[in-house]
Every structure is written in C-alpha cells, then in structure tokens.
Copies of this chain bind each other. A is one copy, B any other.
Amino acid sequence: MDIALSNKVDVEASRLDVMNFLNEMASDFPDAISFVSGRPTEKIFDLGNWINGVHDFAQHYADRHGTDVGTAMRMLSQYGRTNGIINDLIALQVEKDERITCKGKQVLVTAGCQEAMDLCVKTFCRDPGDVLLVRSPTYIGITGAASLNDVEIAAFSCDREDEVLHALKEKVHGLELEGKCPKALYLVPEFDNPTGEVLSRQTRESIISFCASKRILILEDNPYGMFRFEGTRTLPMYVLDRHGCVVYLGTYSKTVCPTVRIGFAIVPEVLFDGAVSGGVLVDRLSQAKSFSAVNTSQINQAVIGGVLLAEECSLKRIVEPTLAIYRCNRDAMIEALSREFLGFDQQVTWNCPQGGFFLSVLLPFKFEHSEAQVCAEEYGVLVMPMSFFALDDGQNYRVRFAYSNVTPEQIREGMARFAAYVKYRIASVDAAFEVYCQ
C-alpha cells in the first residue's frame, strides 16, 4: 500500500468493479445488444428547447423578487441558496403527480438523487454502530453512498412480498442484539431497481408502522413512479405515512433528462410523531450540502423550473410519449421471452412489471460474472447478473433486463441471442445428465 492513499476506498472499488466490467464489455463489444443500462430513452429529449426555458424561469424569478429579467438573470448566475430556488415548484409538482402535500421549505434540491442519498446517509448515520438497512438485491447507488461514508449496511432478503416485514423485523432485532442502531431503511417501493417489483399498500403501511415504532427513517426513492403502464397506482409511502418517518427522494433524470442533475429530498415537517422537528433535519442536510457542493447549479434549477412552469407543474404530459415507448418495450420483451422460452416454462421464468425500466429472469443455472462475459463475447448480448446488486448469495440465478433505452427490434434480436445461450446451457446440463445416467 502506498503512503498517500488508503485501502478503505477499495470497499467502493469492489462495487465499481461491476460498473467497470460492464463499461469494458460495452466498449469491447460495441456491436452487442445491451440490456444493461437503465438510462432513460433519448427519443424525446428536447434539450435545446428546455435550455430556452431558462429565460421563462428568469421572468418568473424576476416577478417573485420584484425585479426585472436582466437582474434575475444576474441573480441566477451567482452563488445561490443552498436548499435551492425551485422548491415551491417541486412541491406543486409532487402534489399534482404524486399526491404528496408539502411546503417548499421541506424540500432540499440536490445535484441528482444520488447527492440526496449521499447527504441522507452521511447525515442520518453518523455515530459508530449506526446502520443503513436495505433489501437485497438493491440499487448500487445506495450501497455505494453507504460505503463512501463508511456506513455499515445491513441487508435482508425475501422471495415473496408477504415476507418483507418479517425479514425486516428479524434483521432489526438481530442488529439490536448486536448493540447496533438501524437508523434508516432504503426502499424503491414502486418498480424497484433492480427487480421491477412493487410493494403493496398493506406492506408499505406495515413497514411504516414498524419503522415509526423503532424510529427508523425510511428513504423512499421513487424514480420510476410516473412510468406505470397499467393497473392502479399505490400511494407513495410518504403519503401513507402518518408518523413522520418517510423522507421522499425524487429526481428529474428520468422524467426530463439526466444531464440536469436535479433531484430532491422531502423531509416531513414533524418526525417520529413529534419527537423531532423536520426543520432540524433539513438544516443538517443543508449544512452537509454546503460543504460538499455549496449549492445546486441555478442554471440546472432554472431548466427544470422552466419545464415545470411550461407544464403547469405536472409532468404527466411530458412523460406520455416516454411512457408509450417503455410500455411498447416491456411488451416486446415479454413477447420475446414467451416466444424464445416456449416449452421452457418449468426452467425459465420472469416477472411482468406494470411499469418502470426493469424486469428480471430466473434461470435454472447460476448466472454470474463469467456467464455474462460469455453472453457478451460469444452471443453478442449484454445483460446484468442480479448478483451484482445482491448483498448475499441469494440472487445467483437471476438476471436483470433494462428495456428503457433499446428498440423493440433490439429487444427481439437481443433476447433471441440470450435465449440461444440459455438453451445451450440447459442442453449441456441435460446432455451431461444423460451421460451421467448411462
């Protein structure tokens, strides 16, 4: 080890190996069809137009501050308020689109949702023994934020939704016996990344009750909530929460575009049935932000502010064409799976998500690093082993498929390639079994 650097960063490095591996595969096999990236579709990006919206936002900002547009543009060019300047517009948007009622002062605008996660983890889990709870598998961004901040992660896993509460309780109980303090629980209850799963209202409410009783803050991350293709939407946990234990995390990376790097956290006015003021928590997040990034770029806030003003603070209209694309892609993927794995229904299964960007496929053999490499090298298809998102050994037979940034043609061809590999593997096992029986 060198003297200038620490080995501790290697904790993050192991997770980043996943990213590097995938990036390398993508550059080594440029002709491979990729189901790896959960990037939003680029088809409806309208950056030139959105940037022009800065001038409209400046007019709004001028009106609000009783000044002229020129002065507003100069104010927008300066350093700005740490907590943000579009908080009221965000509060209106989440009210219209998510039925979340909050005030602008409860909102902290962040440089994408990743910054919100980083700030929450470092602010909520600061003392020795503090633990962040996650389900396994879970989003790499949250485990990365935890290890970046030297925060211990405790993962619980369960195959069925009706086991979630029990698994969570067991994990918390175990941590308490160890003298540890579970401070926060990270969840994507609506179209989870990586699984595509949705938690029912009953499960959400029971988790809220339990966490409130234990004073565990729930970080409800909801990047995919506006992308429901069918079925009835379940209310966000923030809306169902009557105790003040849910911090809501949002982003405009999927609804508008990632480059704006605008996300946000919404903190309840009163936490834990009145035990703590939410304002104190907002202040602490803001303090941490001021020393990690000063404030979120006001250009980027103005871009989103302009979009929100133009759309009357609802993103429903703007996501409509995107939603149609994702629905079409989901359908194409389910059709391709059904077609390719006809007759294999005892061996290969998958979920059919009612929204979001991802689905997962369960295989009759282990699918990990080396299998993904064979798929890339020999079959020209890039897929994500679910084990990359796992904190235990329970995900070795599953594969994540992102259908958000591919075409139906790519889905058909890519799934045929993947199926060819899977069938080859199954046949190999069968042949080996026959040899074994002879």
* B299 contacts A79, C-beta separation under 8 Å: no
Is A369 an interface residue when CB atoms closer than 8 A count as contact? no
For window 111-169 of A, CB contacts with B under 8 Å fall at 111-112, 114-115, 118, 122-127, 130, 141, 144-145, 147-148
* A291 contacts B118, C-beta separation under 8 Å: yes
Is A78 an interface residue when CB atoms closer than 8 A count as contact? yes
Of B4, B42, B291, B295, the contact of A12 (CB 8 Å cutoff):
B291
Of B4, B77, B215, the contact of A45 (CB 8 Å cutoff):
B77
Is A2 an interface residue when CB atoms closer than 8 A count as contact? yes
Chain B nearest CB: distance from A23 CB in Å? 10
Is A374 an interface residue when CB atoms closer than 8 A count as contact? no
| A261 to chain B: closest residue by CB | B297
* B292 contacts A42, C-beta separation under 8 Å: no
Instruction: Find the residue from A6, A130, A215 having the highest chain B CB count within 10 A.
Output: A6
Chain B nearest CB: distance from A317 CB in Å? 19
Q: In the complex, A114 Cα to B123 Cα: how many Å?
A: 18
Is A19 an interface residue when CB atoms closer than 8 A count as contact? yes
Is A13 an interface residue when CB atoms closer than 8 A count as contact? yes
* A288 contacts B73, C-beta separation under 8 Å: no
Chain B nearest CB: distance from A402 CB in Å? 13
Is A422 an interface residue when CB atoms closer than 8 A count as contact? no
Chain B nearest CB: distance from A380 CB in Å? 23
Binds B, one of A231-239, A272-280, A333-341, A359-367: A272-280
Is A351 an interface residue when CB atoms closer than 8 A count as contact? no
For window 261-305 of A, CB contacts with B under 8 Å fall at 261, 271-272, 275-276, 280-281, 284, 287-288, 290-300, 303
Q: Can you list 15 residue pairs at the A/B interface with Cβ under 8 Å?
A: A2-B276, A3-B276, A4-B215, A4-B217, A4-B276, A5-B124, A6-B126, A9-B284, A19-B290, A51-B51, A79-B253, A80-B258, A111-B293, A111-B297, A293-B293
List of 7 A-B pairs having minimum Cβ-Cβ separation, nearest first: A144-B291, A6-B126, A261-B297, A45-B77, A77-B257, A42-B74, A259-B298
